[in-house]
Structure 1
Amino acid sequence: MDIGVLGPCQVTQGGVSVVPTAVKPRKVLALLALHPDQVVSVPALVEELWDGDPPRSVQTTLQTYVLQIRNLITAALARNPREDLPLGPKSVLTTQPGGYLLDTHGGLDDAAEFERLAASGHRTMAAGDCATASTRFRQALELWRGPALVDVQLGPLLEVEVTRLEETRMSILSQRIEADLRLGRHHEILGELAGLAARYPTQEGLHAQFILALYRAGRRSGALEAYHRLRTLLGEELGLDPSPALQQLQAGMLASDPGLEYDASGTAPRAGYLRVLKAG
C-alpha cells in the first residue's frame, strides 16, 4: 500500500485508490494514513470524527466506516491479488487491541520520505556541504503536491497533524533557501523569494532572505525599500517593529558592511548573517 498525505489524500493498494468519497470514512483513512504501521486508538478516531459529541451508536458507526474502507481494499485486491495477504483486506486494515492499524507492507509513504530527505539535508548542512543539503531539501519539497490533506475535512487531530506538516514544510523551505544563499545563488532565487514575500507578508525570515538576496544582487535600494515595506506592514498590521536580526540587516546595508556580501568560502562573519536571519 502506498500513502500520500502531502497534498490530496492518496492511498492506493496495488495502484488502485482506496480513498472513500464519503466525508467521515475519508477522515478515518486519513488519520490512519498519517500513522502508517502504527495503532490508532478507537478514542482517537472517535475524537477526530465527532469532536467530543459522538452518537450513541459510536462503536457500530465506526466499524461501518472501517468496513467501507475494507470493501474498497477488497475491490483493489481483486484487481491485483497478493498471495502474502491471507486475510485479504484485514491484512491491510487490521484490527488491533484498542484500535486499528494500516499495514503498508513496505509500501511508499510520502511523509516518511519527506522526513528522511529533510533529515539528510540537515546532516549535510551541519557538515558544511551546502550543495548536497540544497539538493536534499529540494527533493523533500518536491514531494508536496499541494496543502497537506487538502481534500479531507479536518477534525481536531487531523488539524494538528496538518499544521505540523505545513510548519515543517516552511522550515525546510527556509533551510533550502539558506543553503542556496550560502552557495551564491541569490540571482537564481530572487524571483522565488519575491513570490514568497508577497504570499507571506509578515514572515520575517523569508523577507530577510529576500532582502539579503536583493542586496547581494547589487540592488541595495530595492533591498532597503523591501525592508521599509515590511517595517510599515508590521507596524500597521501587528503593532510590531522588525526583529533585531532584521534591524541588524538594515544597519549593515546602510553601512555597506562587507559581511553582507557573498563569500565563496562561507566563513564568518558573512555566514553569521544567515544564521541570525534563517529562523525569523
Structure 2
Amino acid sequence: MDIDVLGALAVREGGVPVTPTAPKQRQMLALLALNADHAVPVTDLVEELWEGRPPRSARTTLQTYVLHLRDHIARALALGAAAAGEEDAAPRGAKDVLVTLPGAYLLAAGGGSSDVRRFESLAGEGYRAMDAASYAEASARLTEALKLWNGPAFADVQQGTLLAREAKRLEESRLCALDQRIEADLHLGRHRELLSELIVLTSRYRTHENLHAQFMVALARSGRRSESLHVYRQLRTTLVRELGLEPSPRLQRLQHSIQVSAAEVPGETALAVSTG
C-alpha cells in the first residue's frame, strides 16, 4: 500500500487508488493512513469525526462508515483487477486492508510507501549530516525530503481535532527541515540563489526570526547591507507591534555585526524558532 498525506490524500493498494470521495470516510481514512500498521482506538476516531460532540449513535455510525469504506476498497480492487485482466488473482481483501481489532481499527499497509515516513527518514539523515558539518549532503537530503510535500498535509480532507493537530505537527516538521536546508545552503555559499526564496518565506512567516536572520545574511553577503538592515527593522516593527517583543539578543548581535562590518558576516544564523 502506498500512502500520501503531504498534500492531497492518496491511498493506493497494489497501484489501485482506494481513496473515497465521501468526506467522513476520507477523514477516517486519513487518520488511519497516518497511523498505518498501528491500531487507532475507536475513541480517537469518534473524537476526530465529531470533535467532542458525538451523537448517541456515534459508534454505530462509525461502524457504518467502516463498512462503506470497506465496500469502496473492495469495489476499487475488483475494478483494478478486472482492468489488469487479473480476475482470478487473489489480492488482499478489504477486510485484510481495514482490520477490525478489539476497540480499534487498523489500516494494514502490507509494505509499500508512506510519504510521511520517507520525509521523516530523509530529514533525519539531513539533520545528522548538518551535525557532522557535511553541508552538501545535508542540503541534498533535506531538499529530497521537502520535495515530498505537494501542499499542506491533508489538504483536501475535512479536519477534526486530531487531524488538525497532526497537520500542525507536520507543518512544523516541514518548516524545521526548510530552515536547516537553507542553513546548509548558506554554508555552501549559495546566498544569492536563496534570495528569491527567502523573500517569499519571510513574507509568509512574518515573525520567524531564523528565516529573517538567514535573509539578512544572504543579503549582506550579496553586498546589499542596507537591505539586510531594512529586513531587521521590518521584523522588529512586526515583533513589537504584534507580540510586544524585541528581537532576540542573537538577532540583535547579527544586526550589529552587519552594521559595523562591510566585509565579514557571521556564518552561524541558527536562532530559536519563532513562528507566526
Name the CA distance, whole Å, in 2 between partners of 1:128 and 1:201: 29
Alignment of 1:20-39 (within 5 A): 20-39=20-39
Q: 2:118 aligns to what?
A: 113
Percent sequence identity is 54
TM-score, normalised with respect to structure 1: 0.91
Maintained 8 Å contact 2:213/2:269: no
Name the CA distance, whole Å, in 2 between partners of 1:224 and 1:59: 59
Name the CA distance, whole Å, in 2 between partners of 1:49 and 1:29: 11
By how many angstroms is 1:4 displaced? Answer: 0.5
By how many angstroms is 1:60 displaced? Answer: 1.6
Maintained 8 Å contact 1:70/1:89: yes
By how many angstroms is 1:111 displaced? Answer: 0.3
Maintained 8 Å contact 1:175/1:278: no
Query: Does 1:74 find its partner at 2:79?
Result: no
Q: 1:265 aligns to what?
A: none
Name the CA distance, whole Å, in 1 between partners of 2:139 and 2:152: 22
Q: 1:83 aligns to what?
A: 90
Q: 2:159 aligns to what?
A: 154
Q: Deviations over 1:179-218 (max 9, x none)?
A: 0001111011111011111111111111111011000111
Q: 1:49 aligns to what?
A: 49
Maintained 8 Å contact 1:121/1:134: yes
Query: Does 1:170 find its partner at 2:165?
Result: no
Query: Does 1:253 find its partner at 2:239?
Result: no
Q: 1:139 aligns to what?
A: 144
Q: Deviations over 1:117-153 (max 9, x none)?
A: 0011111111111001000000000000000001111
Amino acid at match of 1:22: A
Amino acid at match of 2:32: L
Maintained 8 Å contact 1:231/1:242: yes
Gaps of 5+ in 2: none
* Off by >4 Å, runs of 4+ in structure 1: none
Maintained 8 Å contact 1:178/1:278: no
Name the CA distance, whole Å, in 2 between partners of 1:52 and 1:237: 32
Alignment of 1:204-243 (within 5 A): 204-243=209-248
Gaps of 5+ in 1: 261-269
Amino acid at match of 1:53: R
Name the CA distance, whole Å, in 1 between partners of 2:223 and 2:273: 24
Q: 2:269 aligns to what?
A: 274
Aligned length: 267
Name the CA distance, whole Å, in 1 between partners of 2:194 and 2:262: 22
Q: Report the 3-state secondary structure (helix = DSSP H, G, I; strand = E; otherwise coil) of the residue aligned with 1:274.
A: coil
Q: 2:185 aligns to what?
A: 180
Which residue, 185, 192, 198 being the options, matches 1:193?
198
Maintained 8 Å contact 2:96/2:108: yes
Name the CA distance, whole Å, in 2 between partners of 1:244 and 1:141: 30
Q: Report the 3-state secondary structure (helix = DSSP H, G, I; strand = E; otherwise coil) of the residue aligned with 1:45.
A: helix
Q: Deviations over 1:93-132 (max 9, x none)?
A: 1111221110111111000000000011111111111001
Name the CA distance, whole Å, in 2 between partners of 1:221 and 1:42: 58
Name the CA distance, whole Å, in 2 between partners of 1:106 and 1:211: 45
Q: 2:59 aligns to what?
A: 59
TM-score, normalised with respect to structure 2: 0.92
Q: RMSD of the alignment, in Å?
A: 1.6
Q: 1:13 aligns to what?
A: 13
